[in-house]
């Protein structure tokens, strides 16, 4: 694996070395969190490296930009091609890809209207997001509420949203846990700082519905699609906080987190420590992203 400084990046249709690209200290998106981004993974498969659900990620990137009135001058197809080129150039296998749309201008003024917009893509080799992903993580319910869509749209993957996530993650750290679960402003379960959440109750999966101030996760959507194959019903609804404490199993999901079991919330251990349903879904998900399930090969974009 080469050092980050040596990696190639894609920036406004040009390829540069990571260390050869700089933004100024007064960059609008650095100062005010006005960037838009995506988090995408590629996996090594028997037929070569493939990006998982690339089209959906780029669509969400473009939609996030739309919400913030940002016009980007690249088509979905051009961005997808750039992602594939970058993976090939950096000779990546299991990688994390970060497209980032930002105001490439330095100004104190808040209103970015008319400022230059750039798209940068960085891709690096990456393993598990959580160290103890397989054995499961300990969570707390954060005292910080998830942003409300009357204040900041959680469905846009905008940099500024993550200041809210960071408060919750830091709180988890200071309280000796691995991660936080966030409630929304109405006190119902929303999501993790960078993950959606699923509860297992009996033989059913429950996940907060889209009115819970969540990011509409692509992994969440994958799980909803594939659960039927395992004869597991998925219910999307409002979830009470106390249901976290009475669930049989719990897990986070996300592109970075993949499927990460949660073993306790606020020091209350989950009921079924064998986590049979979480393990079943996790195995199936990992087979799908590795191209081992014929039916879902269309979710993979081979880099070639």
Ligand X SMILES: Cc1ncc(COP(=O)(O)O)c(C=O)c1O
Give the nearest distance from C-beta 166 to ligand X in angstroms: 11
Does residue 219 bind ligand X (CB under 6 A)? yes
Does residue 215 bind ligand X (CB under 6 A)? yes
Does residue 27 bind ligand X (CB under 6 A)? no
Give the nearest distance from C-beta 200 to ligand X in angstroms: 18
Angle between helices 54-67 and 76-89 in degrees, nearest 10: 130
User: If we measure between CA atoms, which residue out of 227, 211, 228 comes closest to residue 219?
Assistant: 227
Of 34 and 219, the one with the shorter C-beta distance to ligand X is 219
Our CA dihedral for 201, 279, 173, 238, rounded to 10 degrees, sits at -30
Give the nearest distance from C-beta 72 to ligand X in angstroms: 19
Cβ contact 79:56 at 8 Å: no
What letter would DSSP give residue 101?
A: E
Query: Which residue stretch of 77-85, 115-123, 210-218, 264-272 sits at the interface with ligand X (rule: CB under 6 A)?
Result: 210-218
What letter would DSSP give residue 146?
A: P
Does residue 184 bind ligand X (CB under 6 A)? no
From 171, 179, 195, 248, residue interacting with ligand X (rule: CB under 6 A) = 195
Of 64 and 118, the one with the shorter C-beta distance to ligand X is 64
Query: Which residue stretch of 5-13, 189-197, 198-206, 224-232 sits at the interface with ligand X (rule: CB under 6 A)?
Result: 189-197
| Torsion-angle region of 133 (φ positive above 0: left; ψ -120 to 50: alpha; else: beta) | alpha
Give the nearest distance from C-beta 143 to ligand X in angstroms: 18
Site of tokens 């919400």: 67
Task: Select which of 157, 273, 280, 295 is catalytic.
Answer: 157
Tokens for 35, please give them: 């960037």
- Beta strands 95-103 and 36-37 are antiparallel
- Beta strands 300-302 and 48-52 are antiparallel
Of 27 and 196, the one with the shorter C-beta distance to ligand X is 196
223-262 binders of ligand X (CB under 6 A): 254-255
How distant, in Å, are the alpha carbons of 1, 49, 76, 270, 296 from that of 302? 21, 6, 16, 38, 13
Does residue 117 bind ligand X (CB under 6 A)? no
Does residue 99 bind ligand X (CB under 6 A)? no
The count of other CB atoms within 10 Å of the CB of residue 245 is 17
Kindly report the length of the chain.
304
User: If we measure between CA atoms, which residue out of 212, 227, 36 comes closest to residue 120?
Assistant: 36
Please indicate whether residue 225 is annotated as part of the active site: no
140-179 binders of ligand X (CB under 6 A): 165
Of 165 and 278, the one with the shorter C-beta distance to ligand X is 165
Does residue 194 bind ligand X (CB under 6 A)? yes
Query: Which residue stretch of 82-90, 98-106, 187-195, 275-283 sits at the interface with ligand X (rule: CB under 6 A)?
Result: 187-195
Q: Rule CB under 6 A: which residues touch ligand X?
A: 39, 165, 191, 194-196, 215, 217-220, 254-255
Q: Looking at the annotation, which residues are catalytic?
A: 157
């Amino acid at each position: 694996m080469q050092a980050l400084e040596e990696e190639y990046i894609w920036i406004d249709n040009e390829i540069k070395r990571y260390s050869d690209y700089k933004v100024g200290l007064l960059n609008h998106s650095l100062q005010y969190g006005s960037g838009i981004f995506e988090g995408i993974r590629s996996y090594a498969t028997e037929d070569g490296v493939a990006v998982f659900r690339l089209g959906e990620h780029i669509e969400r990137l473009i939609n996030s930009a739309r919400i913030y009135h940002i016009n980007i001058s690249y088509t979905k197809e051009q961005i997808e091609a750039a992602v594939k080129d970058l993976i090939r150039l950096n000779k990546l296998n299991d990688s994390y890809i970060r497209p980032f749309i930002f105001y490439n201008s330095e100004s104190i003024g808040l209103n970015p209207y008319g400022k230059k917009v750039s798209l940068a893509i960085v891709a690096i080799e990456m393993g598990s997001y959580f160290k103890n992903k397989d054995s499961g993580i300990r969570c707390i319910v954060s005292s910080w509420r998830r942003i409300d869509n009357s204040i900041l749209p959680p469905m846009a993957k905008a940099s500024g949203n993550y200041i809210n996530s960071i408060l919750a993650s830091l709180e988890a750290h200071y309280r000796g846990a691995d991660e936080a679960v966030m409630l929304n402003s109405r006190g119902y379960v929303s999501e993790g700082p960078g993950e959606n959440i699923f509860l297992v109750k009996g033989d059913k999966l429950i996940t907060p519905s889209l009115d819970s101030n969540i990011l509409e996760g692509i992994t969440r959507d994958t799980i909803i699609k594939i659960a039927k194959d395992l004869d597991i019903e998925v219910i999307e609804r409002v979830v009470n906080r106390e249901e976290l404490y009475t669930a049989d199993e719990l897990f986070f999901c996300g592109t970075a987190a993949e499927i990460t079991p949660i073993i306790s919330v606020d020091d209350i251990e989950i009921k079924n420590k064998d986590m049979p349903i979480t393990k079943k879904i996790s195995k199936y998900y990992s087979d799908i992203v590795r191209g081992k399930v014929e039916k879902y090969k269309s979710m993979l974009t081979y880099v070639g």
